[in-house]
A and B are shown apart, each in its own frame.
Chain A
């Protein structure tokens, strides 16, 4: 729950389309940035953690699909809504498969678009700190499908960066990380964002037992063990975000 207005990025090679969406969304109180091509958009994404990105698909140079894939690598937590004249194309479907949230056809139904933007910025944000990239992607898909926005970090310095960019609702921390431990990250979270709930995760139940107990005592909210009992994991997450 950010106190500041949500940040939106609008990307379309048609300048007028960007201007119009910017006008409408700014009127509604959002902070809006625009870009007319993939490279400019990526530059902006490197600098800002956008809540939602509205992407055109067919653009010269980098198309919307390629752009989204790259945005996801830099900012996994940015929700993408694709707005395109080619809504039923293969590319549109590929965008969904890559993780884009919704596809809207042009001319866009603005009430629908605005409702979706509103919904997206209201979705809880989870930060997963784990060096297992595959696990991160699986959890991303799993949680995204259930309406969470998911940010990823793979080591403590990365996590520190992420924590500066957004106010996450839940942070899931793998206890064993390169360049530090999960306990260190936990303390980072405490300092950067005391409101965030924390879930400790580990696959090494025996080895990590003591550290987990200790960190729970310091105030961590829950511990989940790999391989995950998925329903239990989801329930834990739901409980921790229920107060929204």
Chain B
């Protein structure tokens, strides 16, 4: 956890609400006044929790846990009126927010709880105050500011942790979905292998040409199955990219060598001489461009067509365009093609584009697509340029 970042945020908020050293001094001064009444405040707090089933159900450890929680609250109150609000203080407050997500308490209760404590504190303060009235008002003001800042930090921690968990859960769900899709897709190559074997075992008229055909078929399908499995592995394990300057024309050349195109597809490349390098992970960018080129190829088979790859520098970025003259993508599919399982090719499971998008995201880039049915599609990959802003 980058505590310095969190503390910086807190300092900004302090400035925003108008917090000064005087506020800190005032709150610190009431510590000795509040101390004798802390126990009563804490008992009241937990008595209230007891009355609310929603809040109560997160306390699963019975009397023992409540005793521990009361101790924690005591410490929290102690820190509150300590007069010292440094990085240490802020990081402890943050942990409170995080903890509440962990135990599964709804955020509304954190807010309501703080409100109740605020009320109790102010009432206590009013009751024990023995100085002048103006100073009381100023002190109340300081205490309120402090509690507002506390609430902001706790909420921020809560939301950050919550979002992280949500992302993790979404990711697991996606992997689950994808695994399901993979399981289904593997049945196709297995089906071919099985039927070829059946034929080879049962045919009354085995001729060498037919046998050879079937064996080649089996080999081909095993290759396809392996690709599906590899796609799933890639998807599950996309590593953090190692960012270095990468030449777009060179990458494209490698990719075209790895993915040779049939002769009915004409390939045109156009890269300006002064094109800056892209900032990215060479191997992952290879995956991105391989995927887009394979999709372009598939859209143009079996008739053929032309594949045009161009690039241009734009404002601190390098934009690479891959355009085909294939079947195009129907409008209702344009949104959906980025989802992992969607595929108009029965034999792909659509992981390709999802992986592509994921890699581009992690590079801090963008993927855009324009398409017209019967005319073709153009995918644009924008990545930060290694040369810095132009």
Of residues B185, B194, B198, B202, which shows the largest number of chain A Cβ atoms within 10 Å of its Cβ? B198
Q: Is B220 in the interface zone, CB < 8 Å from A?
A: yes
Asked if B57 CB lies within 8 Å of chain A CBs, one says: no
- Name the residue in B188, B214, B220 with the highest tally of chain A Cβ atoms < 10 Å from its Cβ: B188
B337: shortest Cβ distance to chain A, in Å? 13
Given contacts A20-B217, A107-B190, contact A60 B344 (CB under 8 A): yes
Kindly state the separation between the CA atoms of A60 and B333 in the bound complex, as whole angstroms: 12
As a 0/1 sequence over residues 191 to 234 of chain B, the CB contacts with chain A under 8 angstroms (1 = contact) are 11111101100111100001001100100110000000000000
Determine if B8 is an interface residue (Cβ-Cβ < 8 Å): no
CA distance A138 to B184 in the complex (A): 35
Residue from B184, B195, B199, B210 whose CB has the most chain A CB atoms within 10 Å: B195
Min CB–CB distance B348 → chain A (angstroms): 10
Q: How far is the CA of A24 from the CA of B206 in the complex (A)?
A: 12
State whether the Cβ of A27 lies closer than 8 Å to any Cβ in chain B. Answer: yes
Task: Look across to chain B and name the residue whose beta carbon is closest to the beta carbon of A59.
Answer: B346
- The answer to whether A110 has its CB under 8 Å from any CB of chain B is yes
* A85 within 8 A of partner (CB): yes
**Shortest Cβ distance from A108 into B: residue:** B191
The distance in angstroms between the C-alpha atoms of A117 and B198, with both chains bound, is: 16
> CB-CB < 8 A to A24: which residues of B?
195, 198-199, 202-203
Name the A residues within 8 Å of B194 (CB-CB).
Answer: 107-108, 110
Residues of A within 8 A of B187 (CB): 85, 105-107
Decide if B220 touches A16 in the complex (CB within 8 Å).
Answer: yes
B188 with A110: CB separation less than 8 A? no
Task: Kindly state the separation between the CA atoms of A125 and B127 in the bound complex, as whole angstroms.
Answer: 97
Known: A60-B345, A106-B187. A27 touches B199 (CB 8 A): yes
Summarize B's interface: helix, strand, loop or mixed. helix
Shortest A64–chain B CB gap in Å is: 10
A83 to B192, CA, bound (A): 12
Tell me whether A21 and B347 are in contact (CB under 8 A): no
Residues of B within 8 A of A59 (CB): 346
- Cβ of B185 and Cβ of A23 under 8 Å apart? no
B188 touches A106 (CB 8 A): yes
Residue of A nearest to B347 (CB): A14
Residue of A13, A16, A27, A86 touching B221 (CB-CB under 8 A):
A16
- Please, what's the 1-or-0 string for A83-96, where 1 marks a CB less than 8 Å from any CB in chain B? 10110000000000
Residues of B with C-beta under 8 A to A27: 199, 202-205
Determine which of A20, A85, A108 lies in contact with B196 in the assembled complex, contact meaning CB atoms within 8 Å: A20
Pick the contact of A86: B184, B195, B203, B210 (CB < 8 A). Answer: B184
Which of A13, A16, A83, A107 has most B Cβ within 10 Å?
Answer: A16
Does B203 contact A16, Cβ atoms closer than 8 Å? no
Contacts A13-B347, A16-B217, A85-B185 given; does A106 touch B199 at CB 8 Å:
no
The answer to whether A85 touches B202, judged by C-beta atoms less than 8 angstroms apart, is no
Asked if A20 and B346 make an inter-chain contact with CB atoms under 8 angstroms apart, the answer reads no
A58 at the interface (CB under 8 A from B): yes
Contact of B191 among A17, A23, A58, A60 (CB under 8 A): A17
Is A1 in the interface zone, CB < 8 Å from B? no
Query: Could you tell me the distance in whole angstroms from the C-beta of A236 to the nearest C-beta in chain B?
Result: 41
B192 pairs with A14, CB closer than 8 A: yes
Q: Are B346 and A13 in contact (CB under 8 A)?
A: yes
Q: Does A211 contact B (CB under 8 A)?
A: no
Task: Report the bound CA distance from A20 to B196 in whole Å.
Answer: 6
Cβ of A19 within 8 Å of any chain B Cβ, yes or no, is yes
The 8 Å CB contact of B198, one of A13, A14, A110, is: A110
A23-B210, A27-B203 in contact; A17/B185 too (CB < 8 A)? Answer: no
Specify which of B195, B203, B344, B345 is in contact with A17 (CB 8 Å cutoff).
B195
Q: How far is the CB of A28 from chain B (nearest CB, A)?
A: 9
Q: Please measure, in the bound complex, the distance between the C-alpha atom of A217 and the C-alpha atom of B136, giving whole angstroms.
A: 117
| Segment 41-78 of A: residues with Cβ below 8 Å from B | 56, 58-60
Given contacts A27-B203, A106-B190, A107-B191, contact A85 B184 (CB under 8 A): yes
B188–A14 touching, CB < 8 Å = yes
CA distance A48 to B8 in the complex (A): 78
Q: Which residues of A contact B205 (CB under 8 A)?
A: 27
- Cβ contact within 8 Å between A16 and B199: no
Closest to B203 in A: A27
Closest B residue to A23 by beta carbon equals B199
Find B195's partner among A56, A60, A110 (CB 8 Å cutoff): A110
Per the bound structure, the CA–CA distance linking A23 and B199 in Å amounts to 7
**Please, which residues of chain A bring their CB within 8 A of the CB of B198?**
20, 24, 110
Roughly how many angstroms separate A19 CA and B209 CA in the complex, as a whole number? 14
* CB contact under 8 A between A85 and B191, given known A24-B199, A27-B202, A110-B198: yes
Can you name the residue of chain A whose Cβ is closest to the Cβ of B184?
Answer: A85
Most buried by A among B185, B187, B344: B187
A58 to B341, CA, bound (A): 13
Instruction: Report chain B residues within 8 Å CB of A86.
Output: 184
A residues in contact with B346, CB < 8 Å: 13-14, 56, 58-60
Which residues, 230 to 265 on B, are CB-close (under 8 Å) to A? none
For B220, the chain A residues whose CB sits under 8 A away are 16
Alpha-carbon distance between A156 and B323 when the two chains are bound, in angstroms? 54
Residues of B at the A interface (CB closer than 8 Å) are: 184-185, 187-188, 190-196, 198-199, 202-205, 210, 213-214, 217, 220-221, 344-347
- 17 A–B pairs (Cβ distance < 8 Å), ordered by A: A13-B346, A14-B347, A16-B196, A17-B191, A17-B192, A19-B213, A20-B198, A20-B199, A23-B199, A24-B195, A24-B198, A56-B346, A58-B346, A60-B344, A85-B184, A85-B187, A108-B191
Q: Which 5 A-B pairs have the closest CB atoms?
A: A20-B195, A85-B187, A106-B191, A107-B191, A106-B187
Instruction: Add 6 more A-B contacts to A20-B195, A20-B199, A107-B194 (CB < 8 A).
Output: A16-B196, A17-B195, A20-B217, A24-B202, A85-B185, A108-B194
